[in-house]
Amino acid sequence: MKQAHILVTNDDGIYAEGIQRLCQALLESKGGYRLSVIAPERERSAIGHAITMHKPLRVAEVDFLNNPALKGRSVNGTPSDCVKLAVEAILDQKPDLVISGINRGSNLGTDVLYSGTVSAALEGLLLGIPSIAVSLTGNGNSSSFDYAARLISTIVPRLLESSIEASTLVNINVPVDIKEIKGARVTKLGNRRYRNAFEKRTDPRGMHYYWLAGELIEDDPEDDDCDTKAVRDGYISVTPIHFQLTDRNAMPALEKLIKEMEL
Amino acid sequence: MKQAHILVTNDDGIYAEGIQRLCQALLESKGGYRLSVIAPERERSAIGHAITMHKPLRVAEVDFLNNPALKGRSVNGTPSDCVKLAVEAILDQKPDLVISGINRGSNLGTDVLYSGTVSAALEGLLLGIPSIAVSLTGNGNSSSFDYAARLISTIVPRLLESSIEASTLVNINVPVDIKEIKGARVTKLGNRRYRNAFEKRTDPRGMHYYWLAGELIEDDPEDDDCDTKAVRDGYISVTPIHFQLTDRNAMPALEKLIKEMEL
C-alpha cells in the first residue's frame, strides 16, 4: 500500500498545542504517514473562508516536534491560504487527506461558517482532497488534546479506506471533558444564536466602540441528532458537511418572478 | 402598506460607486423605502465570512449622496461585521431586506465562498432577513452600475411581496457589457477552478514570496443552467443559495464507520 500523504493545518497557528499533539499522534500511529505541516504563523480565528489577495504570502521553515525529518512551514496568511498554497505551490505531491486542527474551541452548527478550522478543510475539499476538521469543545489541557489526537489517528486509516466521498468534509468536535465522553454520534449541524451580540463601550476620549460578545443561545431543531446537542450530552460529534449551496427548491418561485418581470 | 426598511452594504467600501448608484436608484424608485447604509470604511474583498473578534469595531457617520436625510455609516470591519453590527446594535428596527453590492467583479460558482459581498447577504440570512447579493461581472462604468441598480430596484418590490423564503439568498450577477444583455436566467452555482494559482517571485533581498494569481478555468457541470455559463452567454444570472450544509447522503457511511470503530 502506498504511503498516505497528509497535509496538516489549523487556525490557532503552527505553534499551538493542538496541531503539535495531532502530528505527534499521527507519527506514533501505525499508519506510517508522510506528514506536511503548513499552518498560519499566528492565530487566525473567525477568519471564515478568507483568502489573501492584496499582499504577498511568505513561507518560513519552522522546527516542528524537534523532528528534523518533519518540515514545518508557517505562512503569513489565513488557514485557507495555507491549504491553497501548500497544494498549488509548495508540495511536490497532492495530499491524500487534509486535517485541520485540533482547534481550541468548538466549531458547531451555523458557527462553522465563521470557522478558520473548517474553512481550511473546505479549501482541501474544493481542491478535490478528502478533508477533516477537528475541534475540542473548550480550552483543552494536554490530556484532552492527546485524546482527540489519538481519536483522529484511529479514524484516519478507516476514512482513507472508506467510500466517503471527497465532496464531504468530516467535522469532528470532541467534548473537552474527556472523562465524561459517552461515545460518538453522527450528527447534523444545529443552530447557534447569540443574544446581545455586541457590547457598547466608551473610550477615554468619549468615543464609542463595540466588542463582539453575546450570550450563546443554542437553538436546536426538534430532532435531537444535532452536533450542538451531541457534545452537550457528552458525545463526540461527527458531521458530514457539503458545499452544494444552490437552493434548488427556491428555483421555481424565482423563475416565476423573473418571468413576470419580463427581463 | 408599511414602509420597507432596507439595509444596504457591500465589500468595496462605502465610498465605492456601486453602493452609491444602488442607493440612488432605490431612492428614485417608487418604493418609498427607508434606507440604512452601513458598509466597510475600505475595500474588504475576498474576506469570506470573516468576523472581527479581537479588535473593537468603530462606527463613523459619513455623508452619503449629499442627502442629509440618509445617514451613511462606515465600520472598520468586514462586510459580515457591518450587517451583524447594524442589526444587533445600531438599527432601531430590524430591516426587511439586506442588499449587498453592487460589487465590482463577479461572484459566481464556488467563488461565492470567498466573497465578502455574498457573505454580507449570508449574515442577513443568518439573522432571519431576506437578502440579495449583486455584482457586475467586471469593472463597470457608470451606465453599467446604473443598469444594475435599476434592475435591483425593479426586483426588490417583487421579492418583498413574493413567497421566496428568508432562508434563501438571491445572488445576482449582471454582465458588465449591458448592451449585449439577452435577458435573465435562474441558475445553479457552477464550478470555478484556477490553473497555476500562485506566482512565485523573489524580493530584492533574495527571499521568495507568492502572489495569488491563476488563470480561470470555468468547469461547468454538463447541464447548461449554471451561473458561469449564463453570464458568459450574456444573461443576468439569478441564483438561489441556501446554507443547509449537512451532507445527509453521507450520514449512513459515517454511521457505519463510527460503529465499526466501537467508539
pLDDT of residue A28: 94
For residue range A118-159, list pLDDT tens digits in order.
Answer: 999 999 999 999 999 999 999 989 999 999 999 999 999 999
> At A57, which amino acid appears?
L
Query: Residue for cell digits 453570464?
Result: B231
The shortest C-alpha distance from A46 to chain B (Å) reads: 6
For residue range B165-199, list pLDDT tens digits in order.
Answer: 778 999 999 999 999 999 999 999 998 877 778 88
CA-nearest of B7, B9, B11, B25 to B148 is B25
State the total domains in chain A: 1
* Interface residue of A245, A251, A258 to substitute, partner B, most B CBs within 10 Å: A245
Please report the number of interchain residue pairs, chain A to chain B, with beta-carbon separation below 8 angstroms.
Answer: 225
The shortest C-alpha distance from B182 to chain A (Å) reads: 8
For residue range B106-146, list pLDDT tens digits in order.
Answer: 999 989 988 999 999 999 999 999 999 999 999 989 999 99
Task: Give the pairing type, strands B5-9 and B34-40.
Answer: parallel
Q: C-alpha cell of A247?
A: 437552493
Nearest residue in A to B257, CA atom: A158
Question: Is B198 within the bounds of a domain?
Answer: no
Pick the range with the lowest mean pLDDT from A1-15, B54-68, B78-92, B215-229. Answer: B215-229
Nearest residue in B to A255, CA atom: B186
How far is Cα A107 from Cα A228, in angstroms, rounded to an integer?
9
Q: C-alpha cell of B126?
A: 443568518
Question: Is B215 within the bounds of a domain?
Answer: no
Residue A69: what are its φ and ψ, rounded to 5°? -75, -15
pLDDT of residue A1: 62
Task: Kindly report the CATH number assigned to the domain that includes residue B105.
Answer: 3.40.1210.10
Q: Which helix (H) or strand (E) holds B258?
A: helix B251-261
DSSP annotation of A4 reads P
CA-nearest of B170, B163, B187 to B241 is B170
Nearest residue in B to A248, CA atom: B240
Cβ distance of B212 and A243 shorter than 8 Å: no
Cβ distance of A56 and B211 shorter than 8 Å: yes
pLDDT of residue A249: 93
Cβ distance of A158 and B261 shorter than 8 Å: yes
Residue A35 has pLDDT above 90, yes or no: yes
Mean residue pLDDT across chain B: 91
Phi-psi region of B13 (alpha: psi -120 to 50; beta: other; left: phi over 0): left
For helices B17-28 and B142-161, what crossing angle results, to 10°?
A: 50
DSSP annotation of A142 reads H
pLDDT average, residue stretch A71-95: 94
CA B159 vs CA A35, A228, A240, A254, B130: distances in Å:
51, 33, 33, 9, 9
Question: Is B259 within the bounds of a domain?
Answer: no
Phi-psi region of B95 (alpha: psi -120 to 50; beta: other; left: phi over 0): beta
Question: Is A231 within the bounds of a domain?
Answer: yes
CA-nearest of A7, A33, A31, A29 to A19 is A7
Per CB-CB distance under 8 Å, the chain B contacts of A207 are: 58
Identify whether the C-beta of residue A34 lies closer than 8 Å to the C-beta of residue A27: no
Of B113, B169, B209, the CB nearest to A58: B209
The shortest C-alpha distance from A168 to chain B (Å) reads: 7
Of B46, B209, B211, the CB nearest to A50: B46
> At A164, which amino acid appears?
I
pLDDT of residue A55: 85
DSSP annotation of B226 reads B
Q: Which residue range is the domain that position A109 belongs to?
A: 5-189+223-252
Mean residue pLDDT across chain A: 91
Per CB-CB distance under 8 Å, the chain B contacts of A170 are: 254
Q: C-alpha cell of A43?
A: 492565530
Nearest residue in A to B78, CA atom: A47
pLDDT of residue B71: 83
How far apart, in Å, do the first and last CA atoms of chain A sit?
58
ipTM value, please give it. 0.90
Per CB-CB distance under 8 Å, the chain A contacts of B112 are: 245
- List residues bridging with A10 in a β-sheet: none
CA-nearest of B198, B196, B223 to B208 is B198
pLDDT of residue A223: 65
pLDDT average, residue stretch A70-85: 93
pLDDT average, residue stretch A97-121: 94
Contacts of B39 (CB under 8 A, 6+ apart): B8, B9, B10, B13, B14, B19, B72, B73, B74, B75, B79, B82
Question: Is B37 within the bounds of a domain?
Answer: yes
Identify whether the C-beta of residue B91 lies closer than 8 Å to the C-beta of residue B6: no
Q: C-alpha cell of B80?
A: 459580515
pTM for the full predicted model: 0.92
Question: Is A149 within the bounds of a domain?
Answer: yes
Per CB-CB distance under 8 Å, the chain B contacts of A197 are: 84, 88-89
pLDDT of residue B222: 64
For residue range A163-183, list pLDDT tens digits in order.
Answer: 777 789 999 999 999 999 999
The shortest C-alpha distance from A34 to chain B (Å) reads: 23
Per CB-CB distance under 8 Å, the chain B contacts of A117 are: none
How far apart, in Å, do the first and last CA atoms of chain B sit?
58
Q: C-alpha cell of A260?
A: 413576470
- List residues bridging with B34 in a β-sheet: B5
pLDDT average, residue stretch A63-91: 92
Q: Which helix (H) or strand (E) holds A217?
A: strand A215-218
Question: Is B261 within the bounds of a domain?
Answer: no
Question: Is A198 within the bounds of a domain?
Answer: no
